[in-house]
Structure 1
Amino acid sequence: MRYIKQPQVVSCDGNNTFQHVTQNIVMRVQEEGWPAVKEYARDFDNHKGSFYVSKEETNQALSSLSSSIRSALERAITNVRIFHKRQKEMFQPILCPIEKGVTARLRFLPVRRVAIYAPAGRYPLPSTAIMGIVPAQEAGVQEVVLFSPPTKEGKLAPVIAATAALLGIEEVWALGGAHGVAAMATGAGPIKKVDMIVGPGNAYVTEAKRILSGIVGIDGLAGPSEVLIIADNTAHPLWLAADIAAQSEHDPMATSTLLCTDEDIAIQTLKELNKLLETLSTANIAKQAWETNGTIAVCSLKEAIIECNKLAPEHLQLCVDTPETVLGACTSYGAAFLGNWTPVSFGDYIAGTNHTLPTSNRARYAGGLWTGTFLRPMTSLHIDRNGAELLAEDGMNLAHIEGLAAHSLSMALRRSRP
């Protein structure tokens, strides 16, 4: 593998200030409840108004939305719903005879109450609200709550409010950050405790989810966004450059990697990217991310696949002649995008797949947000009198070697006929 551009070597100073800050926020909300939440909202967001967003407000935001944005949101909702509704079909109950007199069952029940976090830092992200809410609805979650940081004016971002209206969400809170996560997890003030919190956020939101996991269910811990693009001589340099810039503009810590089997394509892509990074409105962030974390290398297709399975990228983009064949050899990624006409951006917004995905090498053992995230597999077992008599002796022997006398007795009593 020959590198044309490598990431900068950045020393890690071990700064964990945000972890201590987040720990203190979570502890205060747990101990003091709503007064602490309001204090943090005032200090961090300059928010002094109402936190609850009424149905009237969300409907008003929807009526004020431009027709083009409303149409785009509706199409995104439709496509995401089609794909996630289909996922629900996988979850059929199972009735499984084990042996004579012994039957096991499996069924799937939705989480009862879920909070979806929609970031609104540099820009509000209605797409993330859609990616969290639609799978929850398709899973059959009874209560879906949306929470998102307020704007400088102390209101929920209008496009987030409008998205809530389009999705039929009736419980919406202008509340964000670690204090918002803690409020949802613990049930502070007027907020009822939720069973699960999903959605990506900044370092403080992610750390709060980590601290509170176990008290509340979470979807995962989101790190900086990342893409690995594998390209051959069929790829278009300008398109590749745009795809790298699209990833880089997410965040100064975003990571973009291009592994190319054609040196001319790789070199031309770098030239096109340098031009883009001088003209894009988001060039300040994109350029910082690319210069710090960007990679372009020339290698064989086999080397690229090995690197993919090692990195387990959040996004895998295959700009190659036979993407389906290459995908078959790739075993660790959050979501894959096949062919030159399928940039990650379509998946981020409008094409139906979910954009809440595992980062930081977690795709080795985890997947992205989907309908199954909100469904709990629940087993049951029925043993009749004959089955109990047949199982008892072997069960008692196993209990004996593990030193659990009451376990053995419990089964022995079922063996003896009264």
Structure 2
Amino acid sequence: MQLTPTRNILLNQGSVEEKRSEIRDYFLKTYSLYEKLFELLKDEQSYYLTADPLRHPLVFYFGHTASFFINKLVLAKLIDKRINPTFESIFAIGVDEMSWDDLNQSHYKWPRIEEVRLYREAVKVKVLELIDTLPLTLPITWESPFWAIMMGIEHERIHLETSSVLIRQLPLEHVVPNDFWKVCPFDTPVVENSLLHVTGKTLRLEKKRDDALYGWDNEYGLHVKEVKDFKASKYLVSNAEFLGFIEEGGYENERFWNEEGWKWKCYKNATMPLFWRKDAQGYRLRLMAEEIDMPWSWPVEINYLEAKAFCNWKSAQTGKPIRLPSEEEWYVLRDLHVKVDEPFWEKAPANTNLEYFASSVPVDTFAFGDFYDVIGNVWQWSETPINGFDGFC
């Protein structure tokens, strides 16, 4: 089975049997992709390492997405018998650090990896059985039995991304490169960034219950905002552009950081981005399963606090007010340059969806009019946090 590319399922089109087949294929590809990610781990011992102190060992995430299917199917009363109640308990809670989580690993007795593999296989068989036999009418709505199936698939796709970051945080001796997860083989001459004009508009963000695509609850509702004209950078900030912040003492100068950022910087003793390495020969970049010479033309990968500090430094350097874009500004830019949604792509217009590489690419690779990387290449920070729209429930 060719695992990529995949396309989101349109929930309101086609025949019932076509839709069953599409969902079956989407499930199998997603399930297999997730398991293939864990093939990057060198051995069984690697599954029990805690890549981040605020996360469980990787064995938890290997089992979590399968247990999520069963727990949601039980909740939806689509099945009345669990596959492994113990697994469906220990793999259920602790994805992100929360006040009720217990991250003391001495309190857990994690199963052997072969047991988890067998569990995942049993879950796969059960989900496929349901896809083949559950009553299906179109459109698929919140009330449809297939909504729980779609939720499980999309949930696993989220963890495909987030678990890749945890693997990237493991010591190199616990991972092995895999040709499936292709690394961009080229760097390019560094381009000079600039700010380009974007015309504002009245932005309407809305997702209705009868939308053709699956959505998480916080996506629904209505949000209308008058967005003024603004300027946005032509390119994402590259590693080379961010190096200027480092070399001019950005990590040592408290005035560039907000209170939370400075506390984080001091707590972590941060002097560079998480995945940067420095030795006598210069800078290198940690990828999922290897380190490479620093690709200066690739986008820098930093957290929100570092991004804000960089913008403050850039403001001081240029004498212009520079900040992260708001969510609404990002959508205005996207609406101007991304005219076709993902289900209708013949080929992805950006480095996304594993259609090109499992790493970043140079910031001047994918053009959207005068801009580059309006979507894709890396997760992009906004100044405003995610929030529910009017009508969110």
Which bin holds the TM-score, normalised by the shorter protein? under 0.3
Q: Highest CA radius of gyration, 1 or 2?
A: 1
TM-score by length of 1: 0.25
TM-score by length of 2: 0.26
